């Protein structure tokens, strides 16, 4: 049998080849699938030349395991929720709700220093719980809020940072596409993951609000009070409530049906897609052109996700066949800092990987390898997945591959430079890391709500 050291070299070769393909501009799905195919060919050649057996691929017919695994993945009913939630988010993007929310919150909160930035955070939370599409949320917030904040004299870095961070909340606050995929990878309950993410997601939004309040209190020039505002009236409060009511009703319909056991996540995604379409119709934004645009974008997004799914399935299967999971398990067990140290090390590497990889690749490749090790150490899998998800959220706002930063720069006015975006996001990255540490040392932030509901 081929020596263990040789298998480890093949595993390391897979990682190096994958990273090399990425830096040469090869699409992620092809990088994953191509790397697995090339390493499988190399493994077969080693078998043929040296007449020894590897841990995997003694014959080409063994490659059919990957095809069978892909079919098993495609047959998972939970993943049907992905295109439905994508459709829901994109349809809400077209519904005009965000514009109404921004106008109402601006009139209500804009009369105080930092009020517009706080309005952006609150809208980001509502959009996160309604859409879950980071790109759509960031572009929408940038388009409707940045011109207003810059006109009011807001600091460009504060304005850019708060938009990028608030728009990224959608990847964590349920219904979250990332949590659905994580549940699939580790065979966990989507409902319990959604429930566990509620408190951390709201805590992160609250931390953003607190930062804005403190920053503006210390430096009022960051967000000056507006000079000409409408007089306060109960009419403003009523208009704000009416603007919040539709997305709030949609959130309760989707998440409430899951949490109270009325519908499965897949069925709830259908409710959300129908509700978003209904809201677009009631706002007179629904047309055949809008429906076609949303359908096409949903198809493209879903195809992108499942393309990476297929590539990652092949990659993970070949790596496991070569003993990659055992290699990682031994490496983690050798860490001399105890069980909590192992968790912190995993989160640290996930944070570093987020500088260069998207959350989807990290979830599909890294999480299935480290998740079982963490659970074997006695940690709650729901807790670990949520803290891992919060750590991965930083991948959206850390350069050079922070997609929220790209979305923001593309939609921002020309006076906001790339430097403004990078410097503006730094405090929010620190806040996210602080929330990660809070969850690590206070697991009840995640486990309390699922325990109360599910026992």
What digits encode the pLDDT tens for the residues 231-251? 667 777 787 788 888 888 888
What would the mean pLDDT of 67-83 be, rounded to a whole number?
78
Q: What is the pLDDT of residues 260-300, one digit of tens each?
A: 888 888 888 899 899 989 989 988 888 999 999 999 988 98
Residue with tokens 């992905």: 82
Over residues 84-97, the pLDDT tens digits come to 888 888 888 788 78
- Count how many residues are written for the chain: 455
Q: What span, in angstroms and rounded, lies between the C-alpha atoms of 393 and 359? A: 7
Reply yes or no on whether the pLDDT at 51 is more than 60.
no
CA–CA dist 124, 141 (Å, integer):
8
pLDDT at 52 (0 to 100): 44
In this predicted structure, what is the pLDDT of residue 214? 93
pLDDT at 382 exceeding the cut of 90: yes
Residue 438 scores a pLDDT above 90: yes
Q: What is the mean pLDDT of the chain?
A: 83
Mean pLDDT, residues 348-374: 83
Cα–Cα–Cα angle for 100, 101, 104, rounded to 5 degrees: 85
Highest mean pLDDT among 8-12, 177-181, 361-365: 177-181
Q: Which ranges constitute the DSSP H helices of 260-402?
A: 265-282, 288-321, 324-333, 338-353, 359-361, 367-376, 381-393
Binned at pLDDT 50, 70 and 90, residue 203 comes out as very high
Residue 1 confidence class, pLDDT cut points 50, 70, 90: very low
pLDDT digits (tens, 9 = 90+) for 148-186: 888 888 899 999 999 999 988 888 888 888 888 888 888
Rounded to whole angstroms, the Cα distance separating 126 from 219 reads: 28
Mean pLDDT throughout 194-207? 92
pLDDT value, residue 3: 45
| Cβ 125 vs Cβ 169: under 8 Å | yes
Domain locations in the chain as residue ranges = 77-305
Predicted pLDDT of residue 384: 94
Angle subtended at Cα 30 by Cα 300 and Cα 298, rounded to the nearest 5 degrees: 10
Given pLDDT bands bounded at 50, 70 and 90, which one contains residue 393? confident
What is the arithmetic mean of pLDDT over 340-350? 88
Q: Which of 264, 268, 274, 235 is nearest to 252 (CA)?
A: 268
Q: d(Cα 284, Cα 295) in Å, to the nearest integer? A: 18
In the prediction, which pLDDT does 45 show?
Answer: 72
Does residue 313 or residue 202 have the better pLDDT?
202
- When pLDDT is cut at 50, 70 and 90, the band that residue 23 belongs to is confident
Cα–Cα distance for residue pair 218/374, rounded to 1 Å: 42
pLDDT band at 114 (very low <50, low <70, confident <90, very high): confident
Residue range 400-413, pLDDT digits in tens: 767 788 888 877 88
309 CB burial (10 A radius; 0-12, 13-18, 19+): buried
Which structure tokens are listed for 128?
A: 């996160």
Split at pLDDT 50, 70, 90, the class of 447 is: very high
CA angle 351, 417, 171 (to 5 degrees): 35
Instruction: Give tens-digit pLDDT for 186-195.
Output: 888 888 999 9
Instruction: Give, in degrees to the nearest 5, the angle at Cα 119 between 394 and 238.
Output: 140
> How many Å is the Cα radius of gyration of the chain?
23
The phi, psi pair for 336, rounded to 5°, reads: -90, 30
Determine the Cα–Cα distance for residues 160 and 297; give it in Å rounded to an integer. 26
Q: Is 166 in a helix, a strand, or coil?
A: helix
Average of pLDDT values for 201-223?
A: 92
- The mean-pLDDT minimum among 13-22, 200-209, 215-224 falls in 13-22
Q: Give the distance, in angstroms, between the CA of residue 173 and the centroid of all CA atoms in the same chain.
A: 9
Q: Are 343 and 374 in contact (CB under 8 A)?
A: yes
Answer whether residue 452 shows pLDDT above 90. Answer: no
Distance in angstroms (rounded) separating the CA atoms of residues 336 and 348: 15
Q: What is the pTM of this model?
A: 0.85
Give percent above pLDDT 70 in the chain. 92
**DSSP state, 228?**
S
Residue 144 burial (CB count, 10 A): 20
Q: How confident is the model at residue 310, as a pLDDT?
A: 84
């Amino acid at each position: 049998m081929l020596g263990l050291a040789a298998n480890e070299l093949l595993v390391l070769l897979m990682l190096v080849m994958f990273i090399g393909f990425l830096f040469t501009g090869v699409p992620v799905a092809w990088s994953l699938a191509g790397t697995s195919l090339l390493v499988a060919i190399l493994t077969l050649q080693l078998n043929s030349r040296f007449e020894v057996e590897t841990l995997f691929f003694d014959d080409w017919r063994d490659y059919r395991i990957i095809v069978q695994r892909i079919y098993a993945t495609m047959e998972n009913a939970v993943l049907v929720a992905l295109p439905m939630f994508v459709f829901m988010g994109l349809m809400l993007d077209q519904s005009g709700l965000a514009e109404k929310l921004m106008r109402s919150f601006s009139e209500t909160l804009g009369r105080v220093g930092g009020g517009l930035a706080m309005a952006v955070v609150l809208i980001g939370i509502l959009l996160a719980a309604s859409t879950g599409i980071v790109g759509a949320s960031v572009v929408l917030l940038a388009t409707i809020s940045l011109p207003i904040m810059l006109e009011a004299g807001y600091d460009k870095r504060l304005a850019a940072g708060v938009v990028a961070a608030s728009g990224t909340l959608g990847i964590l606050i349920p219904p979250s596409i990332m949590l659905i995929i994580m549940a699939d990878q580790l065979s966990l309950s989507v409902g319990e993951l959604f429930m566990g993410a509620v408190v951390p997601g709201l805590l992160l939004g609250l931390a953003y609000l607190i930062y804005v309040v403190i920053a503006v209190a210390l430096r009022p020039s960051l967000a000056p009070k507006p000079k000409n505002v409408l007089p306060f009236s109960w009419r403003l409060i009523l208009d704000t409530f009416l603007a919040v009511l539709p997305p709030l009703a949609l959130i309760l319909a989707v998440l409430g049906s899951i949490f109270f056991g009325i519908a499965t996540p897949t069925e709830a995604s259908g409710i959300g897609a129908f509700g978003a379409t209904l809201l677009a119709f009631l706002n007179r934004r629904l047309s055949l052109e809008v429906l076609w645009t949303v359908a096409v974008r949903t198809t493209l997004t879903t195809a992108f996700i499942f393309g990476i799914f297929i590539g990652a399935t092949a990659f993970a299967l070949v790596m496991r066949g070569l003993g990659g999971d055992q290699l990682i398990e031994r490496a983690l067990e050798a860490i001399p800092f105890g069980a909590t140290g192992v968790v912190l090390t995993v989160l640290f590497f996930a944070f570093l990987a987020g500088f260069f990889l998207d959350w989807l690749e990290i979830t599909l490749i890294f999480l299935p390898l480290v998740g079982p090790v963490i659970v074997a150490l006695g940690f709650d899998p729901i807790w670990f997945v949520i803290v891992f998800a919060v750590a991965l959220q930083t991948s959206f706002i850390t350069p050079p591959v922070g997609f929220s930063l790209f979305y923001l720069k593309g939609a921002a006015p020309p006076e906001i430079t790339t430097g403004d975006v990078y410097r503006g996001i730094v405090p929010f990255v620190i806040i996210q890391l602080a929330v990660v540490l809070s969850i690590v040392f206070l697991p009840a932030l995640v486990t309390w709500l699922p325990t109360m509901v599910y026992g």
